[in-house]
Amino acid sequence: MIDVLRTNLKSVVLAAGAFFLTNGTFYIYVTFIVSYGEKILKVPSSTTLTGVLIGAVAMGVTILAAGALSDRLGRLPVYLAGAVFVGVMAFPVFWLIDTKSPAFIALALILGLGGIGIMYGPQAAFFSELFGANVRYSGASLGYQITAIFAGGLAPFIATALLALFNNASWPIALYIIGMAIITLVCTYLAGETRPSAAAELAGGTAGT
C-alpha cells in the first residue's frame, strides 16, 4: 500500500475517477430506483425490480461484448464509449421511468445498466494494466474501493437529497449522473490506453505524425 501510494498515486486517483460513473450510477439504477418508483411514482416495487432484473441481463451481455471488444480495439475507446453512452442516456432513462409504464421502465434499465456494462467489460483489465506487477493488486483495489465509498456508497443518499431539494423532480439526478460521467471521461482519457499492443500502436502512430 505504501509503495503504490508513493510511486503510483496518479494512477490510483485516475482509476478511482474512471470508476466513479460506473459505481455511482449502478447504485442509482439498482437500489435508489426501486424506492423512487415505489414512493415517488407510486408504482409497485415488483415493477422496478423486474426492470432491474431485465437490465441486469442486458448488463451481462454488454459486459461480455465490451470486454471482448476491448481486447481488439483497446480499453480506452470502449471505456470512453460506455461513459459517453451512460451520460447521454441519463435524461432518457428517467424520462422513460417517469412514464410509470412497466415496459418503459424495463427499457430504461436496459439502457442504463446495459450502458454501465460497456465500462465494466474492460474495467478489470484496464485497472490492472494501469499498474506494474509489483503493486498491481493493491493499486487496482485501492482505486476501486475509494470510489466504492464516495460514489456508490453515497449515490443513493445524494439522489434522495436531490429529490427533497427539487420537489421530487428527476432531472437533478440525471444532471448528477452527467456530472459523474464528466469525472469519469476526464480521468479515463488522462489514464490513456493500457492494453500493451494498442498502446504501442498508438505511440507508433503518434511518432509517425
pLDDT tops 50 at residue 208? no
The number of beta carbons lying within 10 Å of the beta carbon of residue 46 is: 12
pLDDT tops 90 at residue 134? no
User: Is 124 in contact with 63 (CB distance < 8 Å)?
Assistant: no
pLDDT tops 50 at residue 96? yes
Encoded amino acid at 103, one letter = A
pLDDT digits (tens, 9 = 90+) for 142-168: 777 888 888 888 999 999 999 999 999
Encoded amino acid at 145, one letter = Q
Using pLDDT thresholds of 50, 70 and 90, give the confidence band for residue 197: low
Give the residue-averaged pLDDT of 71-95.
95
The residue among 85, 80, 53, 58 whose CA lies nearest residue 69 is: 80
Which of the two residues, 8 and 110, has the higher pLDDT score?
Answer: 110
pLDDT tops 60 at residue 27? yes
Q: Which residue has the cell 481488439?
A: 72
Please name the residues in contact with 41: beta carbons below 8 A apart, sequence gap of 6 or more.
97, 98, 100
Using pLDDT thresholds of 50, 70 and 90, give the confidence band for residue 36: very high
DSSP 60-123: HHHHHHHHHHHHHH-HHHHHHHHHHHHHHTHHHHHHHHTT--HHHHHHHHHHHHHHHHHHHHHH
pLDDT tops 70 at residue 200? no
Using pLDDT thresholds of 50, 70 and 90, give the confidence band for residue 203: low
pTM as predicted: 0.87
User: Is 193 in contact with 199 (CB distance < 8 Å)?
Assistant: yes
Please name the residues in contact with 175: beta carbons below 8 A apart, sequence gap of 6 or more.
90
Superfamily designation of domain 2-208? MFS general substrate transporter like domains (1.20.1250.20)
The residue among 54, 50, 120 whose CA lies nearest residue 85 is: 120
Using pLDDT thresholds of 50, 70 and 90, give the confidence band for residue 127: confident
Question: Quick one: pLDDT at residue 13?
Answer: 84
pLDDT tops 80 at residue 199? no
Domain limits, the chain = 2-208
